[in-house]
């Protein structure tokens, strides 16, 4: 087994989060997920990011147990879904997540989207945090106005905001706001989710040739240079290993400036201000 990937960033409360993690969004087949999680851990990853709505928390928990890595060496994130918002609902959802993951605590718990009643959800999370059941609490897919609203009505600021981020959508304004308020930036879909030809872009290919790295490694390093936590999703062992090989080189200011020219302002996933989605997804299925 290789040495653990030790690069980490410190959240406002002093808790350290590994800067590179494995995302498991859309991985619902048990054997595939089991292989991905084990491959990541054996390659040195110590950060796994899941969510209730991914329907794979149980599989993640089982794979982690089978690696026999001590729980305290791992960083596990999950998220409360939109139809579980509310004070009592969030408490119940959290306990259900712990049971599925077969763990006594979470390292990080996030509000998945800013759907109705997220203030009450956060208040429940504050209590769980203060009781020591969560090491850190944060949000996902929150815009500046959501963060401002949350901070105005609650005691504890979010420690992290997990948002769609990639070179075509660098989230510069939100990034600066979070830096100003001590909220760590975490990128989901860091490689653009494969929905376009980002990884064949001539700029990234050229920079990759300069460092003998792939375009994906260049993009992941770009995130690292910006002080962002990154959770690329893959179920392919050699890709998982490749994604970890980003801490043995640095990009120059000129490289970063070239990559900045890729910004098109293109969001490939849902808009966090899509009111219809936020309302309908908050309705519990029959």
Residues near 236 by beta carbon (within 8 Å), at least 6 away in sequence: 36
Cβ-based burial of 40 (10 A; exposed 0-12, middle 13-18, buried ≥19): buried
Active site residue 54: yes
The H or E element containing residue 145 is helix 144-153
- How does pLDDT run across 114-143, given as a tens digit for each residue? 999 999 999 999 999 999 999 999 999 999
- How does pLDDT run across 11-63, given as a tens digit for each residue? 999 999 999 999 998 877 899 999 999 999 999 999 999 999 999 999 999 99
pTM, to two decimals: 0.96
Is there a binding annotation on residue 112? yes
Confidence of residue 197 (pLDDT cuts 50, 70, 90): confident
The distance from CA 141 to its chain's CA centroid, rounded to whole angstroms, is 10
What domains can be seen in the chain, in order of their start residue?
8-281 (3.20.20.100)
Paired strand residues for 115: none
Residue from 42, 45, 54, 105 carrying the catalytic annotation? 54
Return phi, psi of residue 47, to 5°: -125, 120
3 pLDDT more than 50 = no
> How confident is the model at residue 195, as a pLDDT?
65
Paired strand residues for 235: none
């Amino acid at each position: 087994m290789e040495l653990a990937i030790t690069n980490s960033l410190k959240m406002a409360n002093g808790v350290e989060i590994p800067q590179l993690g494995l995302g498991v969004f859309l991985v619902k087949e048990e054997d595939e997920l089991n292989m991905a999680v084990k491959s990541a851990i054996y390659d040195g990853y110590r950060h796994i990011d899941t969510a209730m709505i991914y329907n794979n928390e149980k599989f993640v928990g089982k794979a982690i147990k089978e690696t026999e890595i001590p729980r305290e060496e791992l960083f596990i994130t999950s998220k409360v879904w939109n139809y579980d918002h509310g004070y009592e609902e969030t408490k119940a959802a959290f306990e259900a997540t712990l049971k599925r993951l077969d763990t006594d605590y979470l390292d990080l718990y996030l509000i998945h989207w800013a759907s109705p009643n997220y203030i009450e959800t956060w208040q429940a999370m504050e209590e769980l945090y203060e009781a020591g059941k969560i090491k850190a609490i944060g949000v996902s897919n929150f815009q500046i106005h959501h963060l401002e609203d949350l901070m105005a009505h609650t005691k504890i600021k979010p420690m992290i905001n997990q948002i769609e981020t990639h070179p075509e959508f660098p989230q510069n304004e939100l990034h600066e706001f979070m830096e100003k308020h001590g909220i760590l930036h975490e990128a989901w879909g860091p490689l653009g989710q494969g929905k376009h030809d980002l990884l064949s872009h001539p700029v990234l290919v050229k920079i990759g040739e300069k460092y003998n790295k792939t375009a994906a490694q260049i993009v992941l390093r770009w995130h690292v240079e910006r002080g962002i936590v990154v959770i690329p999703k893959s179920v392919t062992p050699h890709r998982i290993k490749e994604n970890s090989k980003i801490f043995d080189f640095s990009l120059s200011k000129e490289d970063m400036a070239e990559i900045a020219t890729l910004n098109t302002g293109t969001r490939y996933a849902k808009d966090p201000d899509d009111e219809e989605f936020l309302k309908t997804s908050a309705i519990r299925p029959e």
